[in-house]
Chains A and B, each alone.
Chain A
Amino acid sequence: MKKTLVTAALAAVMAAGPALADLTFSSLSYRTGPYAANGIPFADGYADYFTLLNERDGGIGGEMTRMVECETGYNTEKGVECYEATKGEGVLVYQPLSTGITYQLIPKVTADSIPLHTMGYGRTSAKNGSVFRNVFNYPANYWDGASHAVTHILNENGGDIGGKTIALVYHNSAYGKEPIRTLEELAKKHGYNLTLLPVDHPGQEQKSQWLQIRRERPDYVLMWGWGVMNQVAIQEAANIRFPMENFIGIWWSASENDVLPAGDAAHGYKALAMHNVGDDYPVYADLKKYVVDAGKAAGAGDQLGTVLYNRGMYAAMLAAEAAKTAQGIHGTSAITPAMMRDGMEALVMTEEKMAGLGLPGFGPEFNVSCENHGGNGFGAVQQWDAEAGKWSLITDYYQSDQDVIQALIDEDSAAFAAEAGIEPGCN
């Protein structure tokens, strides 16, 4: 018995050899563990969009797409295992949906020349593509998000927030610490006071942080949370009767899973958005027809229209558009990871393009270049309506404070280049 098991495992490893002509995309998903509630809708949306492309259009540019899924459980060790297990299959782009795994993969993808797309997460200074040649983080990054939140607060206060207090409740990890530098710089510029309140993984225990908020009464609370931490924070905010419209989460603290447990008390909670919400888009008719009704939906097929499902779909759509761009540049439909990188670097998202895909007004317009792997830094604010049970955007897309952010990006990427011995350049 043991021998057959070993043989089966060996056969399995052998069978995972180089793939055929298909365009291979990987989904390093997490459908288990403390972050599963957020990992599942994203993975479903990501997979369903590629299924749609295969069923409706026959793939991308005539090439069928293939999805390799690997479960990471939001664990960096498993993430490395997944990367090594799948990279031999010719995966075009990695999207790990975890800042911790992103930091692991940045040196590895650079050595292996495979592009890495960290949409709205990961290492912010990867926006400087002349240093991070294989890493992309369009359409927006954490530092943009921090600036969006502060700008929103500025707009609400008529442009003057001097002397106000903003508290940041953050996941005590690389992810949560990302915005601190930007918020500190912005505090110097706008004169507000910043209070930092770290929450340890996984974030079920936040009593002391919210007690401090109750005592110090900051004017605004920002949150960089993920997974169960979001739900707990919103519940705790409701418990101390913190005004929800002064509580702003990053786009990762902005899903239905996060607000529903608190019920009516979550009404008015705000969060940032890098793409639109809801399922009122033509592409959903196609998704229903070709994917859901055909019984090909990923997972349980019950996540359509949720914020994170949309985000997974948006990530897949951007990857597919980059693949199309790459096919155009290189004049071949069977692209390699290196060609995919060129496509991502030349990606232009316009309103016409999105409307043509059945997603009019879904995300901000942006374009990518070698110097700028992070898009133009546009984002919006969404708000939760507990009675209607849905999110809606309450602002237009607006740009982050590029003066402050660009200086920080240049500084951090230069430090990385020096540390890793990279010669910045676009050739």
Chain B
Amino acid sequence: MFYREAGDFSTTYEQDSQTFPIRFDRYRYYVVLLIAFAVVPFLINDYWVNAVFLPFLIYAIAAIGLNILVGYCGQVSLGTGGFMAVGAYAVYKLMTAFPDVNIFFHVIGAGIVTAGVCVLFGLPSLRIKGFYLAVATLAAQFFLVWLFNRVPWFYNYSASGQISAPERTLFGIPVTGAETAPWAAYLFCLVFTVFSALIARNLTRGMAGRKWMAIRDMDIAAEIIGVNPMKAKLTAFATSGFFVGLAGALFFAVYLGAVEVGEVFGINKSFLVLFMVIIGGLGSIFGSFAGAAFLVLLPVLLKNILVSGLGWPTDLAAHLEFIIVGAMIVIFLIAEPHGLAQLWRIAKEKLRLWPFPH
């Protein structure tokens, strides 16, 4: 009914291999983009931006980054928090060292720096696999946080060791700092999120992505058919690091504005992004969005229902939040181990035939 292939003919290879081959799906995607760019900016206020949209968009970038590494290339990483911290500190150093350069390029620059750091910590992946690699990246997490806490150069010798984002503008409109209008912060992050998703999608369905997946599925077989494991693994680390660095930079500069590395980019952040990837669906760009939405929006939704809606005590609500989110993670993983992306895929299959399944 909703998803009909009838009358939807592909006459060229390009048409056949596009991201959304079904016409309805494609239009829905355009409508979502249109609403995100042209409607939402007029409706949002500080609360919606800071509590809902910014965390969702930024975590989506981080989840896409980690998904490339874990979902597509099969290299388990627990260092996401540390790599986000690299992005945040890189953008901070760039912002303060070159105040005249556009913030847009600083964020990209932070992504490139993080890509480099990520490759460095990805080197062990050439020799170790699986759980052992997870432990090696865990070391990256702790080392990076320790480094940013320890070396005053990274936080410009400020007394408290905090970094705070100065005001920077894009086309004369502030996008960082306290004077930022909600729509400006939102659009700035949205542009990065959309382009990250586009780039990631095109990388993963091209040659690079196929190599990563070959490595993930069986590295020896991949090597035999001519995939260079060193290049494949390190490009996966670099791409992943780039996106995670973008996310870290936006997280600090646009969303929080002031960051304390141990608290914001601790091990919890690594696990949170990993959960997003697992719940959303390993090896799926849509899954990254779904996972980020699930773990960002559900707590806010529950809080609003329990505290503002029902008037329950805040501590009880906070504890219930943990229980409900935790229980839902377990239930989801039992019901559908391939994540929300797979649920969505099944739903689409059903909707194709609905209401006449036979």
Contact = CB atoms under 8 A, between A and B. Distances in A.
B314 interface: yes
Interface stretch (A77-85, A254-262, A280-288, A369-377): A77-85
Contacts of B358: none
Interface string B46-90: 110011000100000000000000000000000000000000000
Contacts of A87: 46
Contacts of B266: 201
A228 B303 CA distance: 26
Contacts of A181: 159
Contact of A178 (B159, B317, B319): B159
A123 B167 contact: no
A123 to B, nearest CB: 7
Contact of A8 (B164, B300, B305, B307): B305
Interface in B219-267: 255-260, 262-264, 266
Interface string A33-74: 000100010000000000000000000000000000111010
B47 A88 contact: yes
B149 A81 contact: no
A76 B161 CA distance: 15
A47 to B, nearest CB: 11
A178 B161 CA distance: 9
A71 B159 CA distance: 28
A119 to B, nearest CB: 17
Interface in B192-235: none
Contacts of A40: 315
A173 B178 contact: no
A200 B262 contact: yes
Contact of A421 (B167, B264, B317): B167
A309 B317 CA distance: 22
Interface SS, B side: helix
A49 to B, nearest CB: 18
A178 B305 contact: no
A110 B10 CA distance: 57
Given A77-B256, A201-B262, A172 B149 contact: yes
B55 A77 contact: yes
Given A13-B304, A13-B308, A31 B318 contact: yes
A6 B259 CA distance: 32
A12 B159 contact: no
| Interface core residue of A16, A100, A106 (most chain B CB under 10 Å) | A100
B111 interface: no
Contact of B263 (A125, A201, A421): A201
B179 interface: yes
Interface string A111-153: 1000000000001110000000000000000000000000000
B41 interface: no
The listed residue with most A CB atoms (<10 A of its CB), out of B258, B266, B317, is B258
A100 B166 CA distance: 17
A76 B255 CA distance: 11
Contacts of B179: 111
A76 B160 CA distance: 16
A155 interface: no
B301 interface: yes
A103 B47 contact: no
A184 B335 CA distance: 58
Contact of B161 (A104, A107, A174, A201): A174
Given A111-B179, A201-B266, A103 B162 contact: yes
A181 B157 CA distance: 11
Contacts of B357: none
A31 B307 CA distance: 14
A179 to B, nearest CB: 10
A85 B300 CA distance: 10
A1 interface: no
30 contacts: A6-B301, A9-B301, A12-B304, A13-B304, A15-B308, A15-B309, A31-B314, A71-B318, A76-B264, A77-B55, A81-B50, A84-B46, A84-B47, A99-B160, A100-B263, A103-B162, A103-B260, A106-B258, A108-B257, A123-B160, A124-B159, A172-B262, A173-B161, A177-B160, A181-B159, A201-B262, A201-B263, A299-B315, A420-B167, A420-B177
Given A11-B309, A100-B263, A106-B258, 20 more contacts: A5-B305, A8-B309, A9-B301, A9-B304, A9-B309, A12-B305, A69-B314, A75-B263, A76-B259, A76-B264, A77-B55, A84-B50, A108-B178, A108-B257, A111-B178, A173-B260, A178-B159, A201-B263, A201-B266, A419-B164
Interface of A: 5-6, 8-9, 11-13, 15-16, 29, 31-32, 36, 40, 69-71, 73, 75-77, 80-81, 84-85, 87-88, 99-100, 103-104, 106-108, 110-111, 123-125, 172-175, 177-178, 180-181, 198, 200-201, 299, 412, 419-421
